[in-house]
Amino acid sequence: MATDVKIAARTIAPTNPATGEVLRQFECAGEAEVFGAVERARLARAGWTELGLRNRIAVLREFQARLFARKSEIAAAITREAGKPLVESLVTEVLVVLDAARFLIDNAFGLLRDEPVPHANLVTKLKNGSLLREPHGVIGIISPWNYPFSIPATETLAALVAGNAVVLKPSELTPLVALELDSLLHAAGVPEDVFQVIVGEGPAGAALLKSPIDKLVFTGSVTTGKRIAAAAAERLLPVVLELGGKDPMLVLDDADLDVASSAAVWGAFVNAGQACLSVERCYVQNSLYESFARACADKTARLRVGNGMDSHTDVGPMIQERQVRIVESHVEDARARGARVLVGGKRLPELGPNFYAPTVLADVTHDMRIMREETFGPVLPVMPFEQDDEAVQLANDSEYGLAASVWTREPKRGERMARRIHAGTVMVNDVVSCFGISEAPHGGVKASGVGRTHGRFGLDEMVRVKYLDSDRVPGMKKLWWHGYGESFRRQMEGFLDMQFARSLGTRMRGALRAAGIVRRKQL
């Protein structure tokens, strides 16, 4: 019977998207295995919490040291499984995680320790108040394939340092990178049951959502995020949802043409455009429009496309052929509706089935899918605008609101526009790098999700806040307890006058009326 079960088990085989090489084969975790992992995490979590914050920070310090020692090895593993150029694996993945660990090592104690709560109301002056930040328990994390190391690692480190256990379900396309994270954390001192990786497809993620976890952190599509939100609502499970974006780049008439065009090219084609923060819409003021589009096309044409393991490669393959088809359909829709293809716009079959040429489109409109749907591929669509107000309106004309950027030689002008853009992050004269700023929160508005990761607010997502109130005079009956009556009503009116009246005379008379409150008889 056991043999029959093993034969029936579904398997996955992650491959190198550049070469098609099968990297390893896994049996998908079933519901029983997922529930078992969560139960083990729940039992182990108490000991991890009791270890204490300072000791957990020490474990993070050891993790950081081990990751640094293996930085090149980890980067190579990321490139083999996700396809991105090796230098991007170092900069946008390994560096991000090293710095996230640094942030938590430096700040977790101050952010998580008990916080005194002052009481300004006179009636509560005889109390001591404190905010306690306690771990949720078991955090479930469902992470994507596009940043298979930095996304789950930053979320996991915050959860662990706060005292939680973590069960991570990585994308079925990139489980090997998650297992590298597993190895690093366990070697650093995280108990095996406190951090666990479950490998599988969608059903494994559904089982994790169904299991008795205490919070879920999900990064993925809007469609899946909505299903998760609906299922979580049934049991009031708290969630953090990062659901992608359609990030606009606004290039104003006084922007540095060379700098802004280089930013657009990098922001659109980093990780082959497979980044939730990538530049997916570019709006350029009319006076710069044609020269900007030409500069982007010229720079894009010089990009070297190939295997990410080649140090000369600028743009690697897409993760799988299905994603290439989405990009292809968006470009063909735009072409059919009148967009100009300045460069690219085609597959590169001589390199392999997952390669698509970095593409610059001009004369796009909001009637085209390329400007409304998340493309998640190496395409830079460029559209002109007249006035600043129009640019803001175009930027906000989207169901997404993850990030945006404004480009100008006048930072104050850029900041004024940034305040009007509906997004979780707006950068002035930079793109994408906000994800690597460990102190900054990451997350969006509208269909881009709810909640935040990274920084102080990301750490707050990993704890429950408890208010602790301790009375300084335990033998004293409280003034507001029973034993009411007309005199008590007048005394309390006087007490309110004493605290809140605007005129000094009214406040003094209120104090006289309230004076007898301490002598009244109570039950």
* Amino acid found at 474: P
Q: Which contiguous run of DSSP H or E holds residue 39?
A: helix 31-50
Residue 229 makes CB contacts below 8 A (sequence gap 6+) with 239, 241, 450
CA angle 498, 499, 502 (to 5 degrees): 85
* Axis-axis angle for helices 411-418, 388-396 (nearest 10): 40
Q: Give SS3 for 319.
A: coil
CA nearest neighbour of 372 among 448, 281, 305: 281
Catalytic residue flag (residue 276): yes
What does the alpha-carbon distance between residue 492 and residue 427 come to, in Å, rounded to a whole number?
52
Q: What are the residue ranges of helices labelled H in 339-451? A: 388-396, 411-418
CA nearest neighbour of 268 among 370, 185, 397: 370
The DSSP secondary structure of 488-504, one letter per residue, reads HHHHHHHHHHHHH-SSH
CA angle 107, 65, 434 (to 5 degrees): 50
What does the alpha-carbon distance between residue 375 and residue 370 come to, in Å, rounded to a whole number?
7
Pick the catalytic residue: 276, 282, 296, 434?
A: 276
What does the alpha-carbon distance between residue 188 and residue 196 come to, in Å, rounded to a whole number?
14
CA nearest neighbour of 284 among 412, 375, 406, 426: 406
Torsion of CA 190, 194, 200, 206, to 10 degrees: -150
Q: Which contiguous run of DSSP H or E holds residue 424?
A: none
Q: Give SS3 for 344.
A: coil
Pick the catalytic residue: 93, 155, 242, 328?
A: 242
CA nearest neighbour of 131 among 114, 118, 147: 114
126, two tokens: 């005889």
Catalytically annotated residues: 242, 276
